């Protein structure tokens, strides 16, 4: 386990800012305790310093996971955000998409969101903006990338994709083994 | 007078017409040689020097070029054509003229140590089959490479030979031996390359060079200093010698439980820098404003129609003329304005 280097922190923050914008500083600087990011076997974990100090007692090969896994760095040093970060993205999300109850199931199985399944979308969403997907009852379901800006969404036909799926809570069951 | 000039004009027009429609067919004594793949036409006809002198050099050359180009174009028209996005395209055949080499031919590389030895001993290269029968897997497998036959590192059961230490890990031993063989092979391969390119490789340590840069000299000094029996512990330093910069670990990470507040500080600064650097996405803003304008115009037009035809209610897109906020919304990061909602969207 080690802290992130400058470049790694930068890549990760860039990715996170696509979804939560400047609210990252609320993650970094929390009033209720010191929380930090640490890298372990290419995965980034977010934990309080208490947990960190406890985790130092484990050897590297025995330690599987600490705190919450936000995502991992791929072999080419790109950062990939995992569904386990949803709890921290959802309250600070800048751009949200609400999905109709009919299309919820489809999204949870890993499909993209079509215009016919789109309930609401925040105004001023740019194309390819990171969005957090909610159900109509304001339950966070996952996150994705807006395929069309809000303006375009109004005009396209109902069968076109409006949100590209990136992660959903169904993954907790589907990819149990790879999620640490 | 007018009649004369009209006749002259007509004659001139006829002459121009005739020139424009010069015949497509050209008469030549010897046929030209064509290499249509290279768009090349070779004309082996003799040039009459009389023609050349009497008609004027420029004109003669121009007409010659024109004739030959005409013949080449005729050849191109003979090729099969296809239509590619409203353009008629001819498919050129293979090039027949052989172009000379651009660079000099490569020199043969010197033989490797094994090749020299084989030549000396007269050992011929025996052609081996690619696949070998693997008894345990009962199928044909490669002789070497991925999933090869008789791979001793992949055995699940190894008998401990009587002479070895019972606590020794036989599997690890085999893996280590393999790694050593691979490393040795790689080393020899690199030595062969160095010998072929006549690069001097050092036995141990640094290479001697004619002109050494400052950091090479410093490195040489540090290497010399640590090349003693006690690894340089009792060596006196030179008067102005600085300790070497990158000795030890090549990559240095921050300590695991460093100063939390300084870490937080650094991250916040990084965020601030990132926040200042992001440019406003002007293009998308412009596109969105454009679309908003169009929507507004459409809505206005429909409302007008609706007023003209009071019986048939127009659709009326949301009605509001929308505040003329010409696209001041910041691209991407600000997210906010909840105006002009279409039904069902926020």
Give the one of A3, A24, A121 whose C-beta lies nearest to B253's C-beta. Answer: A3
Nearest to A169 by CA among A81, A114, A109, A120: A109
Query: Which residues of A fall within a CB distance of 8 Å from B336?
Result: 123-124
Which pLDDT score is estimated for A145? 94
Residue to substitute from B249, B264, B265, B271, interface A, most A β-carbons within 10 A: B271
Sign of CA dihedral A12, A112, B345, A151: positive
At residue B1, the pLDDT reads 57
Q: With a cut of 60, say whether residue B331 has pLDDT above it.
A: no
CA distance A38 to A1: 6
Per-residue pLDDT tens over the stretch B6-15: 888 888 888 8
Indicate if the pLDDT at residue B23 is higher than 70: no
Q: What is the pLDDT of residues B120-174, one digit of tens each?
A: 999 999 998 889 998 888 999 999 888 888 888 888 999 888 888 888 889 999 9
**Closest residue of A to B254, CA-based?**
A3
Please give the pLDDT value at position B99.
87
Q: What confidence score (pLDDT) does residue B313 get?
A: 45
pLDDT for res B279: 66
Domain A2-84 in CATH 3.10.450.220: yes
High-pLDDT (> 90) share of chain A, %: 76
**Distance between CA atoms of A20 and A93, rounded to whole angstroms?**
5
Tell me how far apart the alpha carbons of residues B239 and B198 are, in angstroms, rounded to a whole number: 39
CA of B170 to nearest chain A CA: how many angstroms apart?
22
- Chain A residues at the B interface, defined by Cβ less than 8 Å, are 1-3, 5-6, 9-10, 13-14, 17, 21-22, 24-25, 28-29, 34, 36, 38, 49, 52-53, 56, 94-95, 98, 119-127, 129, 149-154
Which residue among A9, A52, A119 sits closest to B270, beta carbon to beta carbon?
A: A9
Higher pLDDT, B317 or A178: A178
Query: What residue has token string 């290499």?
Result: B35
Minimal Cα distance from B341: which residue of A?
A: A123
- In this structure, of A49-63, A153-167, B32-46, B300-314, the range with the lowest mean pLDDT score is B300-314
Cβ–Cβ gap B344/A120 under 8 Å: yes
Half-sphere exposure of B318 (CA within 13 A, CB side): 16
What is the assigned CATH class of domain A95-175? mainly beta
Taking the CA of residue B107 and the nearest CA in chain A, the distance in Å comes to: 38
Residue of chain B with shortest Cα separation from A33? B260
Q: How many CB atoms lie within 10 A of CB B99?
A: 7
Name every chain A residue with its beta carbon within 8 A of the beta carbon of B267. Answer: 9, 13, 28
What is the 3-state secondary structure of A79-134? EEECHHHHHHHHHHCCCEEEECHHHHHHHHCCCCEEHHHEEEECCCCCCCCEEEEE
Q: CB A126 to CB B329 under 8 A?
A: no
Taking CA atoms, what residue in B is nearest to A18? B333
Interface of B with A (CB under 8 A): 253-258, 260, 263-264, 267-268, 270-271, 274-275, 281, 284, 287-288, 291-292, 295, 329, 331-342, 344-346
Q: What is the pLDDT of residue B327?
A: 39
Three-state DSSP class for B294? Answer: helix
pTM of the model: 0.50
Q: Choose, out of A30, A124, A125, the residue to mutate when testing the contact with B (most B CBs < 10 Å).
A: A124
Per-domain residue ranges for chain A?
A: 2-84, 95-175
Compare CB distances from B284 to A13, A14, A149 and report the shortest one's residue: A149
Compare B277 and A115 and report the one with higher pLDDT: A115
Task: Choose the closest CB to A122 out of B288, B333, B346.
Answer: B346
Chain segment B185-240, per-residue pLDDT in tens = 999 999 888 888 887 777 666 667 778 888 888 888 888 888 899 988 898 888 88
Residues B293-306: what's their mean pLDDT?
85
Coil vs helix vs strand at B122 = coil
pLDDT at A152: 87
| Half-sphere exposure at residue A120, Cβ-oriented, CA atoms within 13 angstroms | 16
Rounded to a whole number of angstroms, the distance from the CA of A46 to the nearest CA of chain B is 13
Specify the pLDDT at position A22.
84
Q: What is the mean pLDDT of chain B?
A: 80
Q: Which residue has the higher pLDDT, B53 or B257?
A: B257
Helices B260-277 and A6-20: crossing angle, nearest 10°?
A: 60
DSSP string, B21-39: T--S----SSPPEEEGGGT
User: Rounded to a whole number, what is the distance in Å from the CA of A7 to chain B's nearest CA?
Assistant: 10
CB pairs under 8 A between A and B: 98
CA dihedral A103, A105, A111, A117 (to 10 degrees): 10
Lowest mean pLDDT: which of B65-79, B126-140, B209-223, B331-345? B331-345
Count the Cβ atoms, other than its own, within 10 Å of residue B178: 13
In whole angstroms, give the CA distance from residue B7 to residue B2: 9
């Amino acid at each position: 386990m080690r802290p992130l280097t400058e470049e790694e922190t930068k890549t990760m923050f860039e990715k996170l800012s696509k979804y939560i914008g400047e609210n990252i500083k609320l993650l970094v600087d929390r009033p209720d305790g010191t929380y930090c990011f640490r890298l372990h076997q290419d995965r980034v974990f977010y934990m309080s310093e208490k947990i960190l100090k406890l985790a130092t007692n484990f050897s590297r090969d025995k330690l599987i996971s600490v705190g919450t896994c936000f995502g991992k760095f791929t072999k080419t040093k790109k950062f990939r955000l995992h569904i386990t970060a949803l709890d921290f993205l959802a309250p600070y999300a800048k751009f949200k998409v609400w999905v109709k109850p009919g299309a919820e199931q489809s999204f949870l199985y890993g499909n993209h969101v079509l215009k016919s399944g789109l309930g609401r979308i925040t105004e001023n969403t740019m194309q390819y903006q990171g969005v957090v997907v909610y159900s109509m009852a304001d339950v966070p379901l996952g996150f994705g990338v807006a395929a069309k800006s809000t303006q375009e969404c109004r005009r396209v036909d109902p069968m076109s994709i409006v949100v590209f799926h990136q992660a959903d809570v169904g993954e907790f069951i589907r990819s149990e083994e790879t999620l640490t | 007078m007018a009649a004369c000039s009209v006749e002259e004009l007509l004659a001139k027009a006829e002459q121009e017409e005739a020139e424009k429609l010069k015949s497509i067919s050209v008469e030549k004594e010897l046929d030209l040689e064509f290499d249509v793949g290279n768009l090349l036409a070779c004309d082996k006809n003799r040039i009459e020097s009389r023609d050349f002198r009497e008609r004027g050099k420029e004109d003669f050359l121009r007409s010659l070029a024109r004739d030959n180009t005409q013949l080449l174009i005729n050849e191109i028209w003979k090729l099969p054509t296809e239509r590619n996005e409203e353009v008629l395209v001819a498919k050129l055949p293979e090039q027949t003229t052989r172009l000379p080499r651009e660079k000099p031919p490569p020199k043969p590389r010197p033989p490797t140590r094994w090749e020299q030895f084989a030549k000396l001993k007269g050992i011929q290269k025996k052609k081996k089959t690619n696949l070998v029968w693997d008894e345990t897997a009962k199928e044909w497998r490669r002789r070497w490479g991925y999933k090869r036959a008789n791979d001793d590192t992949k055995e699940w059961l190894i008998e401990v030979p009587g002479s070895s230490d019972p606590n020794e890990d036989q599997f690890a031993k085999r893996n280590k031996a393999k790694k050593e063989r691979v490393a040795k092979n790689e080393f020899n391969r690199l030595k062969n390359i160095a010998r072929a390119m006549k690069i001097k490789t050092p036995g141990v340590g640094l290479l001697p060079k004619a002109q050494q840069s400052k950091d090479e000299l410093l490195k040489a000094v540090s290497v010399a200093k640590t090349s003693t029996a006690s690894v340089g512990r009792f060596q006196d330093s030179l008067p102005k010698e600085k300790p070497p910069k990158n000795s030890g670990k090549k990559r240095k990470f921050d300590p695991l439980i460093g100063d939390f507040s300084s870490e937080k500080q650094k991250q916040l600064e990084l965020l601030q820098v990132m926040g200042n650097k992001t440019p406003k996405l002007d293009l998308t803003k412009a596109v969105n404003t454009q679309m908003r304008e169009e929507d507004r115009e459409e809505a206005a037009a429909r409302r007008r129609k609706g007023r003209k035809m009071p019986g048939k209610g127009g659709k009326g897109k949301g009605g509001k003329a929308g505040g003329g906020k010409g696209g001041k919304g910041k691209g991407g990061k600000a997210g906010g304005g909840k105006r002009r909602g279409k039904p069902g969207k926020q």
